[in-house]
Structures are given as structure tokens and as C-alpha cells.
């Protein structure tokens, strides 16, 4: 056990975590230069494009250190985004130390701080690594100052590295061996293993990634998943190489996988404790919680005829990602669909992209919503994540919405712009930290509902990419909420309704009306688009009527050509949704979700 090291790499998006992971794999001789593909661990297309890790992968690196001894370095990969903070916390709970990776040209960012706090919470050994020192824009001295002052870490331990060129990689491997303590635990004690990830294999079902804290597990054991109170017979255990490597057992301190005839990842819980049925541990490992969705949206197939294939794709998606919740939903405008819950906005976007790319589905999503809580005059309490279920306003005693503590790290010069943005999004209780001269941490209490609508894009834009953002949920606050309905020629379009704060309703209403005006093609009659709260119209726009649309000549030779054109257009119109007498193209539903181009 003394030759095992369990560690993670934590970093802000794009600071080079995946590249460094790949370098470590290469440096320990697991793959030759020839086999070396860029970013081995981030295998999904979307991950590579966005430079973020969504599903984590874990790998065991055999390493012979300068002291001549052989070590097993378990690199536990973590998802790199705030939406997945619970998953990150479970991965960190499986480690004894972390590499805190910082981009030399970007310096410390909001997520760097969030990651550091998470690592400190788990009492992990922290090794700061400054990456991308080969870049012309690298500012190593400034970054060292930030590590010292903002993070309060020991700059003498800081390693300079370029994951791209490989510089500093050997020092990192040595530092892992030297500075990160070996795991402890009793291989002969009662089994307690922490589930920190699960993946789906179409032949073998759920592949659980776990850290053995105490005890030993072997094939044939009957295990119990404590949170789910489910029993399974272990079929196979092993370690993570580039492929799965079957072993006879996994013991305290080790990290590996376990296959136990569990059908899908939905039948597992991240953070759950695995123990033996016969000789269970006294209590589950601490820190488990049920993951709760915070952002909700309804999704529909673009073509209502495609519902069966759409439903099937969702079934398959669920096998791989247990963190999305699904409920049947239906809309007058969009037909049959599902109401889905997500860990955050990024999670929602990733879901949408994966469905389209990997599962070949064309979908429409409605405006994301948070979970609102209503207390009615009758005393009944309601949780509502779908505007469709917004209660009759006359029956509402109090309405509440979730708040976050937003932490925004920026160069000082953007303070005014960021303050304005946060205040316009109903931010309150602002605080400031000046971690280093010229840099500013802005803290705001903000409604989550305001952040899920284009906040991050706006922040990036007004800070020219220098602003970084992180948040924690801080609970519910009383709020003056209304339901904004959108009417097209007097007909309510249910899929476009949103719950908003009264003060923000007009702006949202104007935005949606303007967007629809741009996207709805002119038709034979004038189309009135209105935003309304109850019976009161708060915004409007008009699509004027088509005045001229007829082919000048239609004789013998023109008829076939013209008919084919009309038939083709008619089939295109099938992709439009009829609201009363108005045809609304699918893209109009998407456009209302997008911010104005400013």
C-alpha cells in the first residue's frame, strides 16, 4: 500500500488538464509515441471541442521513481465544470492529493479557487503546477504571486511545466511520489468502497469505479450498495489500464473497477458505499447525497412523427448518464416530449449536443427553468419546475426561487461592467475581495433563474473573455414571481411560457416578441405576437402580412415545376408548428433562448 498514490488533477477549463493527463500516461511508458493520441482521456467529440471533461476516466500508471522503487499512480480524472461539483467532490474523496494546474497566461481563475477549496475540504496534499510556460503570453512571476497571495500555497513546491512540450512532467511524477501520502486502510477490515463514477458497457452493464477504503473485494462476493440497499454478486474486479485489467481482488487503498451484473448506471449512485453482504461495515462512508436537478427544460423531437425513435434515444442515453432526470411531458405546440432535469446549464447543453450528435436526434428544448417553490393560501406547498404548472396567482401566498452565491474573478478594469450585469440580473449583497493588486473577486447573491438565461455568455463578452465564474447554491428566497405567456394571434403558445420575476418580465417579453418577429416568416395575414401576464399585455410585435407571392407565368411547361416547388415547400412547412392559424418554424423556439447579439 505504501507504493500507491491516488491523485487528481484539478484546473479551470482550458488550463491544460487533459494534455497533462496524456503526458503522464506517455511518460510512464503506457503508450508509445506512435500510439499517442492527443487527449486520450477526453474521448467524446464534445469534450475535445470544448476542452472540458464530462465523463471522467481513471487510469493506473505504473511508475519507477528515482528512488528505484515501483509505484502505482492512480490518476482519478474529474469532470471539469461547476455543474458537476458533486462528482468532483466524490473523486477528490478518493484521493490523497491533487495537482492544482494553473495556466501561466491566465493565472488564477474562479474555478481554480473553487477547486482549491474543494481539495482543502478533503484535506488533500496540494501540488501547484504552472502550465503552458512555453507560451509567449506566459506570465510566470505574476502567477507565482497569485499562488502565494490568492491561494496561500507554498510557491517553493510549485512545479513549472509545459504539458505540450513535456517540460516538467518528470518533476511532477517525482513530486506525486514524494509529496502525496500513500493511502491507509485495513485490507482485512470490513469492506468499505467509495463509488466515484460509473460507466456503461453494452455487454456487461454498469462498470463501477471505486476506491477501496477498507477491506478487500473479490469476484464471487455478494456486495451491498448501501444507499440503494441493493445486493449484487461481483463478477469481476480489476484496475484501469488503457483497457480494463482483470485482477483477483481489490484491497484497501486501491482504485479500480467492479462489475456485478448491474444493468445500468441508473442503478448506481455516485458517492454510494459498497460493502460485503455478510460482513458489512458499521456505517457508510460520509458525504453521500442524492444529486438534485437544478435546471429543467422540456425537450421534443422536431418532427412529432419521430417520437418513438426519440424516446428510444433517451432510453439509451440514460444508460450512460444517470444524472439527467426524465418525465413525460406534452405541449399543444410541440406534441409529446419529456421534461428533463439537469445539474446545471452546461450539463443541459452537453445533453442536447450529445443527443444530436451521438444519438442523431433533432430536438427542440424549451426555455430552461429552475425549481420554484410556492406556498398557497390553503397552506399547500408546491414545487414547480414547469411553467405549465404555475399555480393560479390569486391562490399564491408566497413564492420562492433558488439563489446562488456567484463568484466572479476579473481584472479590476471590468468592475463597472460586471456590477451592472449582476445588478441587472437582480444580483444583491455584493462583496469584493482584492486577492492581488489589479484583480478583483466579485461576490453576489443572485437568483439562479437569472444565471441560466445567457448570463455566462454575457459575462464572457463584457469581460472580453477574462471573467471567470463559479457558483454555489445558497437556498431559497421569497420572490415576486409571475408567469409570462406568449400569444400568437391571441393563441397561447404553451412551450414559450416562462416564470420570471415581475421586474424582469417586460424585458423578457420584449426579447421573446422581437425574436419571434425575426423568425416567423410572413404569412397571408398579419400576425400579432404578444407577451402577457395574466390578461395584461406587456410586450408586442407584429409580422406584417405577405403582400405578393405568386408566380407570374404558369402555362403547360411551368405546372410540373411549380407544383413540385409547392410540394417541397409544403413538406418544409410540415416542420413548422401550427398555433391557431399561424405557422411557427422550429428555429423560432430555439431563437427565443438566445441572447440578443450585442
Partner 1 sequence: MNNIPTISRSPGLYIHIPICKTRCRYCNFYSRSGVTAELTGTLIECICKEIESARWEPNTIDTIYLGGGTPSVLDPVHLKSILDSVRKRFIVLEPAEITLEANPGDLDSSILQTWLNMGINRVSLGVQSLDDAALRLLGRRHHTEQALTAMAHLARISKEKSEFSWSADVIMGIPNQSQRVYESSLERILTFNPPHLSCYQLTFESGTPLMKTLNRGLIDQLDEETEAIFFSRTQSLLAEHGYWQYEVSNYCSGIDSHSHHNAKYWDHVPYLGIGPSAHSFDGVRRWWIVSDIREYCRRIIEDGEAVEEVELIDSRTMYNERIMLGLRTAWGIDRSMIDASIQPDILNVIKAGLIRATDDRLIPTPLGMAVADSIAGLLIARTYDQEISTRSSC
The torsion angle over the Cα atoms of residues 127, 131, 134 and 135, rounded to 10 degrees, is: -150
By beta-carbon proximity to partner 1, the closer residue of 536 and 548 is 548
By beta-carbon proximity to partner 1, the closer residue of 316 and 562 is 562
Q: Does 535 bind partner 1 (CB under 8 A)?
A: no
Spatial neighbors of 27 by CB under 8 A, at least 6 apart, are 166, 169, 170, 173
How many CA atoms within 13 Å lie on the side-chain side of 226? 22
Out of 37, 394, 570, 596, point to the residue binding partner 1 (CB under 8 A). 570
Residue-wise DSSP of 454-514: THHHHHHHHTTT--EEEEEEEEEEE--EEEEEEEETTEE-GGG-EEEEHHHHHHHHHHHHH
Out of 555, 596, 597, 598, point to the residue binding partner 1 (CB under 8 A). 555
Q: Does 581 bind partner 1 (CB under 8 A)?
A: yes
Out of 553, 596, 597, 598, point to the residue binding partner 1 (CB under 8 A). 553
Which span (142-150, 153-161, 504-512, 554-562) binds partner 1, by CB under 8 A?
Answer: 554-562
Q: Does 569 bind partner 1 (CB under 8 A)?
A: yes
190 vs 188: CA distance, rounded Å: 7
319 vs 326: CA distance, rounded Å: 13
Q: How far is the CB of 490 from partner 1 (least distance, A)?
A: 12
- H helices of 324-445, in order, are 345-357, 415-424
| Parallel/antiparallel/unpaired status of strands 527-533 and 428-433 | unpaired
CB 149 within 8 A of CB 436: yes
Burial of 119 (0-12, 13-18, 19+ CB in 10 A): buried
209 forms beta bridges with 197, 257
Helices and strands (DSSP H and E) totals, the chain: 14, 33
Q: Does 332 bind partner 1 (CB under 8 A)?
A: no
Closest to 590 measured CA to CA, from 300, 346, 364: 364
Q: For the window 498-527, what string marks contact with partner 1 as x by the rule CB under 8 A?
A: -------------------------xxx--
By beta-carbon proximity to partner 1, the closer residue of 52 and 488 is 488
By beta-carbon proximity to partner 1, the closer residue of 282 and 552 is 552
Q: Does 595 bind partner 1 (CB under 8 A)?
A: no
Which span (162-170, 228-236, 313-321, 571-579) binds partner 1, by CB under 8 A?
Answer: 571-579
Residue-wise DSSP of 105-155: TT-S-HHHHHHHHHHHHTT-EEEEEEE-TTSTT--HHHHHHHHHHTS---G
Q: Interface residues for partner 1 in 28-67 (CB under 8 A)?
A: none
Q: Does 137 bind partner 1 (CB under 8 A)?
A: no
CB 382 within 8 A of CB 397: no
By beta-carbon proximity to partner 1, the closer residue of 170 and 567 is 567
Q: Does 562 bind partner 1 (CB under 8 A)?
A: yes
Q: How far is the CB of 578 from partner 1 (least distance, A)?
A: 7
3-state secondary structure 511-559: HHHHHHHHHCCCCCCCEEEEEEECCEEEEEEEECCCCCCCCCCCCHHHH
CB 478 within 8 A of CB 400: yes
291 forms beta bridges with none
Grid cell for residue 236: 469481476
Sign of the Cα torsion 460, 78, 448, 388 reads positive
By beta-carbon proximity to partner 1, the closer residue of 166 and 308 is 308
Q: Does 546 bind partner 1 (CB under 8 A)?
A: yes
By beta-carbon proximity to partner 1, the closer residue of 290 and 549 is 549
Q: How far is the CB of 309 from partner 1 (least distance, A)?
A: 14
Out of 222, 242, 245, 551, point to the residue binding partner 1 (CB under 8 A). 551
Out of 136, 243, 550, 598, point to the residue binding partner 1 (CB under 8 A). 550
Q: How far is the CB of 313 from partner 1 (least distance, A)?
A: 19
The number of residues that bind partner 1 (CB under 8 A) is 32
Q: What backbone phi and psi angles, to 5 degrees, belong to 461?
A: -70, -45
Q: Does 312 bind partner 1 (CB under 8 A)?
A: no
Which span (13-21, 235-243, 364-372, 559-567) binds partner 1, by CB under 8 A?
Answer: 559-567
Q: How far is the CB of 326 from partner 1 (least distance, A)?
A: 22
Q: Interface residues for partner 1 in 281-310 (CB under 8 A)?
A: 304-305
Out of 472, 566, 594, 595, point to the residue binding partner 1 (CB under 8 A). 566
Out of 45, 121, 201, 567, point to the residue binding partner 1 (CB under 8 A). 567
By beta-carbon proximity to partner 1, the closer residue of 236 and 491 is 491
Query: How many other β-carbons are positioned within 10 Å of the β-carbon of residue 48?
Result: 14
Which span (223-231, 266-274, 435-443, 568-576) binds partner 1, by CB under 8 A?
Answer: 568-576
By beta-carbon proximity to partner 1, the closer residue of 356 and 491 is 491
Q: Does 242 bind partner 1 (CB under 8 A)?
A: no
Q: How far is the CB of 581 from partner 1 (least distance, A)?
A: 4
Q: Does 547 bind partner 1 (CB under 8 A)?
A: yes
Which span (49-57, 277-285, 311-319, 546-554) binds partner 1, by CB under 8 A?
Answer: 546-554
> For residue 438, how far is the Cα from the chain centroid?
31
Summarize as ranges the residues that interact with partner 1 (CB under 8 A): 304-305, 523-525, 545-557, 559-560, 562-563, 566-567, 569-571, 573-574, 578, 581, 583
Amino acid at each position: 500500500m505504501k507504493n500507491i498514490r491516488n491523485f487528481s488533477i484539478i484546473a479551470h477549463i482550458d488550463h491544460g488538464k487533459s494534455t497533462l493527463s496524456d503526458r503522464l500516461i506517455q511518460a510512464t511508458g503506457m503508450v508509445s509515441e506512435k500510439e499517442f493520441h492527443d487527449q486520450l482521456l477526453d474521448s467524446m467529440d464534445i469534450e475535445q471541442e470544448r476542452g472540458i471533461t464530462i465523463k471522467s476516466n481513471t487510469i493506473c500508471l505504473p511508475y519507477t521513481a528515482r528512488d528505484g522503487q515501483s509505484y502505482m499512480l492512480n490518476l482519478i480524472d474529474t469532470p471539469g465544470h461547476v455543474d458537476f461539483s458533486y462528482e468532483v467532490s466524490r473523486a477528490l474523496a478518493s484521493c490523497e492529493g491533487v495537482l492544482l494546474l494553473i495556466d501561466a497566461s491566465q493565472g488564477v481563475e474562479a474555478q481554480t479557487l473553487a477547486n482549491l477549496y474543494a481539495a482543502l475540504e478533503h484535506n488533500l496534499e496540494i501540488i501547484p503546477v504552472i502550465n503552458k510556460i512555453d507560451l509567449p503570453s506566459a506570465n510566470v512571476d505574476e502567477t507565482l504571486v497569485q499562488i502565494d497571495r490568492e491561494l496561500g500555497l507554498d510557491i517553493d513546491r510549485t512545479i513549472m511545466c509545459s504539458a505540450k512540450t513535456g517540460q516538467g512532467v518528470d518533476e511532477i511524477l517525482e513530486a506525486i511520489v514524494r509529496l502525496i501520502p500513500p493511502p491507509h486502510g485495513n485490507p482485512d477490515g470490513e469492506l468499505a468502497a467509495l463509488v466515484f463514477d460509473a460507466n456503461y458497457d453494452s455487454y456487461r452493464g454498469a462498470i463501477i469505479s471505486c476506491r477501496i477504503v477498507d477491506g478487500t473485494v473479490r469476484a464471487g462476493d455478494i456486495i451491498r450498495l448501501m444507499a440503494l440497499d441493493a445486493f449484487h454478486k461481483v463478477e469481476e474486479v480489476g484496475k484501469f489500464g488503457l483497457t480494463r485489467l482483470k485482477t483477483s481482488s481489490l484491497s484497501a487503498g486501491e482504485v479500480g473497477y467492479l462489475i456485478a451484473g448491474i444493468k445500468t448506471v441508473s442503478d448506481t449512485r455516485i458517492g454510494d458505499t459498497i460493502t460485503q453482504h455478510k460482513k458489512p461495515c458499521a456505517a457508510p462512508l460520509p458525504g453521500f447525497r442524492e444529486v438534485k436537478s437544478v435546471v429543467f427544460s422540456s425537450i421534443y423531437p422536431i418532427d412529432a412523427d419521430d417520437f418513438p425513435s426519440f424516446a428510444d434515444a433517451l432510453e439509451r442515453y440514460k444508460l450512460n448518464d444517470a444524472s439527467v432526470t426524465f418525465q413525460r411531458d406534452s405541449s399543444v405546440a410541440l406534441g409529446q416530449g419529456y421534461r428533463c432535469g439537469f445539474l446545471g446549464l452546461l450539463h443541459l447543453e452537453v445533453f442536447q449536443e450529445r443527443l444530436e450528435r451521438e444519438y442523431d436526434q433533432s430536438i427542440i428544448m424549451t426555455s430552461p427553468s429552475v425549481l420554484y417553490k410556492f406556498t398557497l393560501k390553503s397552506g399547500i406547498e408546491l414545487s414547480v419546475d414547469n411553467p405549465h404548472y404555475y399555480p393560479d396567482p390569486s391562490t399564491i401566498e408566497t413564492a420562492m426561487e433558488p439563489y446562488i452565491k456567484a463568484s466572479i474573478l476579473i481584472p479590476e478594469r471590468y468592475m463597472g461592467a460586471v456590477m451592472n450585469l449582476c445588478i441587472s440580473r437582480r444580483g444583491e449583497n455584493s462583496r469584493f475581495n482584492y486577492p492581488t493588486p489589479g484583480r478583483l473577486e466579485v461576490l453576489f447573491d443572485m437568483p439562479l433563474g437569472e444565471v441560466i438565461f445567457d448570463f455566462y455568455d454575457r459575462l464572457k463578452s463584457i469581460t472580453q473573455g477574462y471573467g471567470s465564474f463559479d457558483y454555489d447554491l445558497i437556498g431559497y428566497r421569497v420572490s415576486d414571481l409571475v408567469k409570462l405567456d406568449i400569444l400568437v394571434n391571441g393563441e397561447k403558445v404553451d412551450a414559450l411560457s416562462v416564470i420570471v420575476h415581475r421586474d424582469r418580465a417586460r424585458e423578457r417579453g420584449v426579447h421573446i416578441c422581437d425574436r419571434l418577429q425575426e423568425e416567423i416568416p410572413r404569412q397571408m395575414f398579419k400576425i400579432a405576437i404578444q407577451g402577457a401576464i395574466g390578461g395584461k399585455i406587456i410586450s408586442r410585435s407584429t409580422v406584417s402580412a405577405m403582400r405578393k407571392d405568386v408566380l407570374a407565368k404558369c402555362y403547360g411547361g411551368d405546372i410540373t415545376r411549380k407544383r413540385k416547388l409547392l410540394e417541397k415547400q409544403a413538406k418544409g412547412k410540415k416542420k413548422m408548428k401550427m398555433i391557431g392559424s399561424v405557422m411557427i418554424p422550429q428555429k423560432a423556439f430555439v431563437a427565443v433562448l438566445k441572447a440578443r447579439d450585442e
